Structure 1
Amino acid sequence: MDSQSQALTQSLLYLDNVSVVFDGFRALNALSLTIEEAEMRAIIGPNGAGKTTMMDVITGKTRPTKGEAVFAGVHDLTKMDEAAIAQLGIGRKFQTPTVFDMHTVEDNLLLALKEDRRAFSNIYWRRTPHEKERIDALLERIRLKDHRLRKAAELSHGQKQWLEIGMLLAQEPRLLLVDEPAAGMTDQETADTADLLRDIAKTQSVVVVEHDMQFVRDLDVKVTVLHEGSVLAEGSLDHVSANERVIEVYLGR
């Protein structure tokens, strides 16, 4: 088996030679990337580098012009719609938290649980001991155990971010795509968010798109730098920060 085939079968996410062209503009340009099981990866790069388009391809929002996007070795993401990809276990958190403001923290998590929520089951639905255990564990994990009965609207910006991450975790994803989680947070919330994502990455894969270099340093993970739709550099933050091209196009001096 050649190295490419091994990457395809062993990696959780495998992007190979992915290009996306919008009206002549090449948003992604032969992008290749692999994410392993239970790996956290930080994606950085200037505006227009292709970070959002990359996530759009992974979640089925955008069809690539060419290239492969394979999940768990067998699922061709380029031929699936957004709902089917979400069912596979790919969750995405956008920069602005989307929660049900007028519901409690606990009810937000309950609504997000990966359970049978069809109309018939809802008529006869009662919270099961298993669901209660899962919610309790999620509240503990996202640092909102003491806020379970508060309405989501009353939470701080950082706490809303954690709640939305908890709602994604309730869906039992294998891969989380998280867009600028540290934006607008206090220093303490930022540090706590780094701890939370590191904890999640013990069992699930996490891709974090971020501009805050201190936050990326706190994550202490492999970094991929995108520029003009392709990978410019990859490695530790110290390694990519020393790359002359990365300094020139993104970090500055």
Structure 2
Amino acid sequence: MTTMIFEELKRQFTNDLLYIFLQREGFIEADLFPEFINQISMDRVYSTLEVAEMFKISDNNLRYQMKMMRKLGYINSIKAGRNYRFNYLNIYRMYLVTLILNMKGRNTGDIENILNGEDVSSLNKEITPVTDESKKDDSQSIWSFNHLVIQMIEKQIAINELQTCLNESTRKYMQLDQRFNSMLVEIQLMNKLNESIKQPNKKWFYKHNEIDSSATNLDDKQQLTEFKDQLATILFNINDYEKRLTINLYELKQLYEEK
């Protein structure tokens, strides 16, 4: 490295807050004064494109960083017409900026804090210690979550069982209804047959059969009524479980969001 620019930069940046920060972070001279510094002339100015090539970053990225540093008052770039120019001091300032931004977890907000003179140690994020109480809270949360999942599964099983029961009851209901209608047809046919024959013994047979059919008819009606009541009860239970499932789904969603 050219001794003249090396010594000049060290002299100029002895009290520079970013320079001091990087030294405290363990950056050595090889990092702080890379080889491209040799190519910089203290007697000329450079374009953003030329500086970006030195830093091996995009021109747009450099322009954005330069804009932020100008707002913070860290650099005073020279504007030639519509384009900005950098002298050797501003080039080195921007190089220090890129070094910090390339550090893990660092951003322009950190640079602003450094320039405001904040203690370097205050920039490190505080890590909340894991206490027994926090472990207990986490365990309780996990238990509540697992318990809620189990409840959800149990509710779903109950709904499936009720749905199966409902399907079976519906099948029986349809069978009885079909049987009932068949018996009505048979009775109507017997009535027509009895009227056509008009014989006493046939009339007697008809009346006797009508009594039996009426009894069977009433029995089937009663069974149908019972099945209808069962269906209504099952439907009510399913609606009740669906309401509970909705509540549990909401509670599960809340627990997910809290976690």
Normalising to structure 2: TM-score of the pair?
0.22
Quick check: which one's strand share is greater? 1
* Greater relative contact order structure (CA < 8 Å, 6+ sep): 1
Quick check: which one's helix share is greater? 2
